[in-house]
Amino acid sequence: MATDTLEFLFLGMVAVVVAAMLGGALAGRARTVGASLRACAVLAVVSAAGAYGLAHASGPQGAASYAPLLACAALLFTLVIAFCASLMARRLHARR
């Protein structure tokens, strides 16, 4: 893969992590734990769809052949990070 493609992948995963942290923190404000976790799951599915679409749109020279793998990685990263951020936000909010 070209250097530009690797930079694209790196910046894409940074964006996924930041979106997961912010989305998880916002989801932590929900009334119940179940609602928070459902919001995180929806965020993860949207993140995976976005990663797949962007990777697929990069063309044959880019990361298009890795689109399913990148979508799975984005889904799992977002699930784990958003769930943790959501639970931390709930705990911090409960202390106040």
Question: Domain for residue 93, yes or no?
Answer: yes
Question: Domain for residue 24, yes or no?
Answer: no
Do the beta carbons of residue 85 and residue 70 sit within 8 Å? no
Question: Domain for residue 21, yes or no?
Answer: no
Residue at token pair 């890795």: 66
Give, as one character, the DSSP assignment of residue 58. Answer: T
Kindly state the greatest CA–CA separation across the chain.
Answer: 52
Q: Tell me the residue range of the domain where 93 lies.
A: 33-96
CA-to-CA distance for 78 and 5, rounded, in angstroms? 21
CA-to-CA distance for 55 and 43, rounded, in angstroms? 18
Question: Domain for residue 62, yes or no?
Answer: yes
Share of the chain above pLDDT 70, in %: 93
Question: Domain for residue 37, yes or no?
Answer: yes
Q: What does the pLDDT read at residue 67?
A: 85
Predicted TM-score (pTM) of this structure = 0.85
How many structural domains does the chain have? 1
Question: Domain for residue 80, yes or no?
Answer: yes
Question: Domain for residue 5, yes or no?
Answer: no
Q: What does the pLDDT read at residue 1?
A: 56
Question: Domain for residue 1, yes or no?
Answer: no
* Chain CA centroid to CA 2, Å: 24
Instruction: Name the band, by pLDDT with cuts 50, 70 and 90, for residue 6.
Output: confident
Give, as one character, the DSSP assignment of residue 30. Answer: S
Question: Tokens at residue 26, please?
Answer: 């916002």
* pLDDT tens-digit series, residues 54-93: 888 877 766 778 888 989 999 999 999 999 999 999 999 8
Buried/exposed 50-60: b ≥16 CB within 10 Å, e otherwise? bbbebbbebee
